Amino acid sequence: MQALWHLENIDLTHLLCPNKLGDTERMSHHAQRTFAKGEQFFVPDDLSDRIFFITEGRVKISTMNEEGKEITKVILGKGEVFGELALVGEQRRRDWAIALEKTVACVVTLDEMRSLMRERSELNLFFMRIFGARQLELERRLESLVFRDSRSRIVEFLVELTRQKGERVGYEWVIRKPVTHQEIANMTATSRQTVTTTLNDLRYKKLITFNRSRLLVRDMDGLVAEMRT
């Protein structure tokens, strides 16, 4: 399934990674870099002067609360963009961005991105969709924290993850390279033990099956119904 903020008829790879296609004029501004698992793209207080486009791998965006506990904001994959707050006035980074596995990303300077946006008006719509989608997602997660208990938050997370990242296979949905139990806990403000207990219960009910390489949703309607129990 395509990313939520994917915009058809715009070739981001060509625009943001021209060096892959032999365009040498912009190579000084664009760079395709490979990041090892655990390597940081940026940390809080780094200068917000670059935007990243993922062509391979996964990236975690996270922050820390006042007690020093990590809170995962989002996990992004191929075809998605991050660091975009630089476009709306962010001077210094407020989050951590870390590669969850070997990740290849095209790095575009802020000045070059602004130049591209002046040249290609569809890029403005693309980033408007990103800002809007991520704002809606943050609002949904806040409502979930306020109105749902731990188990319901975990189930809701699985439902949304399936809708956004899942691939339909017959009557089932498969999510390849799913997030870890700890990451689910970080994103739902629950404990790893609660996540494990909930997933095992859903597996017992034959709604899902999972291992380290994939999560299979066997009954999407049944999983959605679990949000209301």
Q: What percent of the chain has pLDDT above 70?
A: 89
**Each residue of 218-229: pLDDT tens digit?**
999 999 999 876
pLDDT at site 138: 81
Please report the pLDDT score of residue 38 as a whole number: 95
How far is it, in rounded angstroms, from Cα 184 to Cα 205?
20
pLDDT per position as a tens digit, 181-196:
999 998 898 999 999 9
pLDDT, tens digit, 9 for 90 and up, residues 32-63: 899 999 999 999 999 999 999 999 999 999 99
Homologous superfamily, domain 12-145: Jelly Rolls (2.60.120.10)
Average pLDDT over residues 18-32: 52
User: b vs e for 35-48, b when ≥16 Cβ sit within 10 Å of the residue's Cβ?
Assistant: beeeeebbeeebeb
Provide CATH code, domain 148-226.
1.10.10.10
97 — pLDDT class (breaks 50, 70, 90): very high
Collapsed DSSP state (helix, strand, coil) of residue 220: helix
Residue spans of the domains in the chain: they are 12-145, 148-226
pTM score, two decimals?
0.78
Q: Is the pLDDT of residue 130 over 80?
A: yes
Strand order in the sheet with 50-56: 30-35, 103-109, 50-56, 81-82
Q: How far apart are CA 169 and CA 184, in angstroms?
A: 24
pLDDT at 2: 41
Res. 179 pLDDT band, cuts 50 70 90: confident
pLDDT of 30: 58
Cβ-contact 4, 165 below 8 angstroms: no
pLDDT number for residue 128:
86
